[in-house]
Amino acid sequence: MGVVYRALDTKLGRIVALKFLPPNLSTDQKSKRRFMQEAKAASALDHANICTIHDIAEDEHGHLFIVMSYYDGQTLKSLLNQHPPTVDEATSIGLQIASGLACAHEAGIVHRDIKPANIMVTSRNEVKILDFGVAKLNESSDLTKAGSTIGTAAYMSPEQSKGEDVDVRADVWSLGIVLYELLTGRRTVEGGYEAAMIYAIINEDPPTARSVNPDVPEGLSAVVARCLAKNPDNRYENAAALASDLNAFTSPSGSRTSTFSAPSGAQTSTVAASVERLVPSNGKIIARFAPIAVGVIAIT
């Protein structure tokens, strides 16, 4: 949810990303509250694998926007569409995501929409978690009505799919789906109607990661399977516990930097959940931030 522009901070002379609410939602108070919640959730976190939030403001027309760090890179979704990672690369990416989520979980924040489109891999092969727009904060009322679902169907946990209350273990499930996709090249549920996908998530068990890709170690396959336990009590209790187990499958050097990168000449993008199309810059956004070149629209 949002429109993202690449911009210049004229005070500090740095490139940033400005995330605006879509114009058709700019007058919707619920959308504004969720937008404010995203800024509050993310700005409270200080971790190398979480997108940095600098500020939140409003332009002269009452449009809210968040000032975020600009990252030169691509979403994990874009990279997966180009070529599959190796097992080592997949594990490293999963570990970085788990490390960032561990910071959020420690602060009592549940992301609730972990998916490849919300993960940025920078040109330095650093993983950044984006878009806490549907995050649930312990200290504030949930903006989601009881019985409704928030997130993306293919990555939602069984309890989330049912519209039930969720906790940090829902993020563990979603990260398990991402890990499965990284390791096998496919999701646990594929295509079809959303209702059919939700039925499969709740009632069917996918093949193990190792049975799909024999290069996946048995132990790592077991880690993914534990993430995808239907009963939340049988999953990892939080992302920190998952990160601890994933660490055993990283390189002997202990490096957490992924080498998963796009082929030479691939197009890069700004911090956005998914890149849809390019639009002209808008010089009237705010005096302090002068958009340069082009903006990138992202509907998350």
**Ranked by mean pLDDT, which of 3-7, 36-40, 172-176 comes out on top?**
172-176
pLDDT interval class at 261 (50, 70, 90): low
Residues 32, 287: Cα–Cα separation, whole Å: 22
**What's the pLDDT tens digit per position in 14-66?**
999 998 877 766 677 777 777 777 777 778 889 999 999 888 888 888 888 88
Indicate if the pLDDT at residue 80 is higher than 60. Answer: yes
- On whether the CB atoms of residues 171 and 114 are closer than 8 A, the answer is yes
Please tell me the predicted confidence (pLDDT) of residue 75. Answer: 93
- 277 vs 240, residue with greater confidence: 240
Q: For residue 153, is it left (φ>0), alpha (ψ between -120 and 50) or beta? A: alpha
Mean pLDDT taken over the chain = 80
The two beta strands, 294-297 and 14-20, are unpaired
- Tell whether the model's pLDDT for residue 8 goes beyond 70: yes
In the chain, the N- to C-terminal Cα span, in Å, equals 4
Please tell me the predicted confidence (pLDDT) of residue 155: 92
pLDDT at residue 48, rounded to an integer: 94
pLDDT (tens digit per residue) in 118-153: 999 999 889 999 987 655 544 344 444 444 445 578
- The pLDDT score that the predictor gives to residue 264 is 43
Whether the CB-CB separation of 16 and 5 falls below 8 Å is answered with no
What are the C-alpha distances in Å from 273 to residues 23, 186, 237, 244? 18, 19, 27, 27
| Mean local confidence (pLDDT), 207-215 | 97
pTM for the complete prediction? 0.79
Distance CA 245, CA 248 (A): 6
Q: Domains plus CATH for the chain?
A: 3-71+270-297 (3.30.200.20), 73-247 (1.10.510.10)
Q: Residues with catalytic annotation?
A: 113
Of all residues in the chain, the percent with pLDDT exceeding 70 is 74
Beta strand pairing call for 289-291 and 14-20: unpaired
Whole-angstrom Cα distance, residue 100 to residue 266? 26
